[in-house]
Amino acid sequence: MELLIAVTLLALAVFLGVELITKVPPTLHTPLMSGSNAISGITIVGALLAAGADHSTFTAVLGFVAVTMAMINVVGGFLVTHRMLHMFGPRRRRAAADQSETDGEDL
């Protein structure tokens, strides 16, 4: 890829990111953060290439550690975001989830 094309991609993607994120309401800032955090685990692509390249044991080990770290970031990030967002769900199983803290009153 030519350097100029790469830089163009970078600039356009930043503008797109700004447009997308400005619309997110404060209520969703934490899930947004953990969700975008999981996307930053995209570096796993490079980690896989390094771990599988069969260049030297040293680079393979670097790749292995990188795959592990990126995967923690990706799996953990998406899962925890899912857990959080689930709580924001519209009118979800209110009655069922109530037993613990409340003493039986309704909404």
- Where does residue 48 rank: exposed (0-12), middle (13-18), buried (19+ CB within 10 A)? middle
**Minimum distance from CB of 60 to another protein (Å)?**
5
Q: Which of 4, 99, 104, 107 binds another protein (CB under 8 A)?
A: 107
Cα(21)–Cα(55) distance, integer angstroms: 40
99 near another protein (CB under 8 A): no
**Please, what is the minimum distance in Å from the beta carbon of residue 102 to another protein?**
6
Q: Does 95 bind another protein (CB under 8 A)?
A: no
Q: How far apart are CA 44 and CA 106, in angstroms?
A: 47
Instruction: Provide the mask over 35-64, with x wherever binding to another protein is found by CB under 8 A and - wherever it is not.
Output: xxxxxxxxxxxxxxxxxxxxxx-xxxxxxx
Cβ of residue 7: shortest distance to another protein, in angstroms?
Answer: 9
CB 28 within 8 A of CB 88: yes
Instruction: Please state the closest distance from residue 57 (CB atom) to another protein, in A.
Output: 9
Q: Determine the distance from the C-alpha atom of residue 8 to the mean position of all C-alpha atoms in its chain, rounded to a whole number.
A: 24
The reply on whether position 94 binds another protein by CB under 8 A is yes
In the block, tokens 């790749």 appear at 63
Radius of gyration (Cα) for the chain, nearest Å?
21
| Contacting another protein within 5-34 (CB under 8 A) | 6, 9-10, 13-18, 20-34
